[in-house]
Amino acid sequence: MRGGAGIATVGTPPLMSLPTMHSFRRLAVSALVLAQGLLSSVPLLAAPPPNEPIRVGSVSTLTGPGSTVAWRAAKAYFDAVNAAGGVGGRRIDYQVLDDRADPQAAQQAAARLVADPGVVALAGGSSVLECAFNHAVYEKAGLMSIPGAGVDPACFGSPAIAPVNAGPYVSTANALSFARDVLKHDRLCVVAPALPGMVDAFRDIVARWAIGRAGTPPTIDLYRIEAPLDGIVQQVAARRCQAVIYSGPEGLAIDWVLKARAALGGVDHVFLASVYTSGVLRAVGVSGEGIYVLAEFEPWSGSSLQLADWRGLMLARGIEASSLSQGGYLAAQVLVKVMRGIRGPITRASVTEALRTMQPIANSLADEPFVFGPASQHQPHRSALPLRLTNGRWRIAHARWVRFEPKAEAPGIPFGR
């Protein structure tokens, strides 16, 4: 990984210091202006020398709140491709820049990758805020991104970004469907973090899910992640929920399980893929018995032969088995398959064209094929498979994948096709 002025790799502000939506918009405009200045000095893209490495980038949270292993899984896949001869004899040079969960660092990282004409695409990244600040920059530069884990709403609302995961909003809808249609609960309560840029998206997806459905509409309670959970636990308990859909990150979900046990005893809890980890198993112990999680990919804790290639690579590289490492691996795999299908030079322009015109690519990890395509926004993955914590192990809780299909459009943040 190359160093760069202003792109630090250590030192992180607390997540509570993330800016407001007004600051988000102001900083995003600054990022676009910065990138426009850099782009003006970039030469026209030409065919690279035949043996020059193919540069693939990623803006990810390597340090600080929300740090992720998705990029490590992508790197492991690219390294394996390089060991086998690369793509058309060219090795992949994977450049991962740390946004530190900091908007300015995310902008600087994106501007640097955009300004390098040798960077043909982005893949395997995961960040709580990167898409919000950089999607317009990528769109203007014609630089396509395949995140291993899309988080903020802009990841699912840009023509230049197509995550391989379902993400927290569609997964919240899937959790509601599972609780209503499979567990047969009527009073459903959604609990979600009040993170900048995400509040409207959570409210919007709950409203979309409720359109055309009989029964009591779900409630939604938002909490500040720096505040103690005791207050929100009591607030939710007062609603007399039959099932709680919790959309927070892994660490806070562990606290929720431990603190909600007494106040919400007998209430089913459904968590998203961020909680489907071995760390949660170790942390919650018997207090977590009976909780549900949604796997967005083939359950990593299972023994399916479909996991063999991914699992072998993760074990060899010492990378934790999780939905995040599955997403990073899958994003890298998709990009490599697309690049191998290009006839002629592999450049930013040719990769962008190949992604926009690609046919769906089936894979062993997901219920649905991946396709980027020419749409103005992308949500190629919408499925989840419910699991339950039983006798200290994650076990499949439903025979079929749950897939959210909105019955009608609703005002608010759009979600891709």
pLDDT at residue 225, rounded to an integer: 84
Question: For residues 328 and 162, what is the distance between their CA atoms, to the nearest angstrom?
Answer: 13
pLDDT band at residue 92 using 50, 70 and 90 as cut-offs: very high
Mean local confidence (pLDDT), 169-179 = 97
pLDDT band at residue 71 using 50, 70 and 90 as cut-offs: very high
Q: Is the pLDDT of residue 7 over 60?
A: no
Q: Are 256 and 189 in contact (CB under 8 A)?
A: no
Q: Within its chain, how far is the Cα of 273 from the centroid?
A: 10
pLDDT at residue 94, rounded to an integer: 98
Mean local confidence (pLDDT), 65-80 = 92
pLDDT band at residue 20 using 50, 70 and 90 as cut-offs: very low
Kindly state the tokens that stand for 46: 């030409």
pLDDT band at residue 44 using 50, 70 and 90 as cut-offs: very low
Residues 6+ apart with CB under 8 A from 139: 158, 159, 160
Q: What is the pLDDT of residues 288-324, one digit of tens each?
A: 999 999 999 999 999 899 999 999 999 999 999 999 9
pLDDT at residue 46, rounded to an integer: 55
Question: For residues 165 and 62, what is the distance between their CA atoms, to the nearest angstrom?
Answer: 19
Q: Is the pLDDT of residue 43 over 80?
A: no
For the domain made up of 15-165+305-357, give the CATH fold: Rossmann fold (3.40.50)
Residues 6+ apart with CB under 8 A from 324: 68, 69, 70, 73, 126, 148, 149
Out of 25-29, 104-108, 385-389, pick the least confident: 25-29
pLDDT at residue 120, rounded to an integer: 98
pLDDT band at residue 35 using 50, 70 and 90 as cut-offs: very low
Identity of residue 371: V
Out of 2-16, 18-32, 242-256, 313-327, pick the least confident: 2-16
pLDDT at residue 387, rounded to an integer: 97
Best-predicted range by mean pLDDT among 13-22, 195-204, 306-315?
A: 306-315
pLDDT at residue 70, rounded to an integer: 95
pLDDT band at residue 11 using 50, 70 and 90 as cut-offs: very low
Look over the chain and give the mean of its residue pLDDT values, rounded to a whole number.
Answer: 87
Establish whether domains 15-165+305-357 and 168-295+383-403 are of one fold.
yes
pLDDT band at residue 285 using 50, 70 and 90 as cut-offs: confident
Mean local confidence (pLDDT), 354-381 = 95
Identity of residue 144: M
The CATH architecture that domain 168-295+383-403 belongs to is 3-Layer(aba) Sandwich (3.40)
Mean local confidence (pLDDT), 363-368 = 92
Q: What secondary structure, in 3-state letters, does the chain show?
A: CCCCCCCCCCCCCCHHHCCCHHHHHHHHHHHHHHHHHHHCCCCCCCCCCCCCCEEEEEEECCCCCCCCCHHHHHHHHHHHHHHCCCECCECEEEEEEECCCCHHHHHHHHHHHHHCCCEEEEECCECCCHHHHHHHHHHHHCCCEECCECCCHHHHCCCCECCCCCHHHHHHHHHHHHHHHHCCCCCEEEEEECCCCCHHHHHHHHHHHHCCCCCCCCEEEEECCCCCCHHHHHHHHCCCCCEEEECCCHHHHHHHHHHHHHHCCCCEEEECHHHCCHHHHHHHHHHHCCCEEEECCCCCCCCCHHHHHHHHHHHHHCCCCCHHHHHHHHHHHHHHHHHHCCCCCCCHHHHHHHHHHCCCECCCCCCCCECCCCCCCCCCCCEEEEEEEECCEEEECCCCCEECCCCCCCCCCCCCC
Domain ranges of the chain: 15-165+305-357, 168-295+383-403
Q: Are 48 and 84 in contact (CB under 8 A)?
A: no
Q: Is the pLDDT of residue 344 over 90?
A: yes
- The model's pTM is 0.86
pLDDT at residue 16, rounded to an integer: 33
Q: Is the pLDDT of residue 149 over 60?
A: yes
Identity of residue 100: R
Residues 6+ apart with CB under 8 A from 85: none
pLDDT at residue 350, rounded to an integer: 98
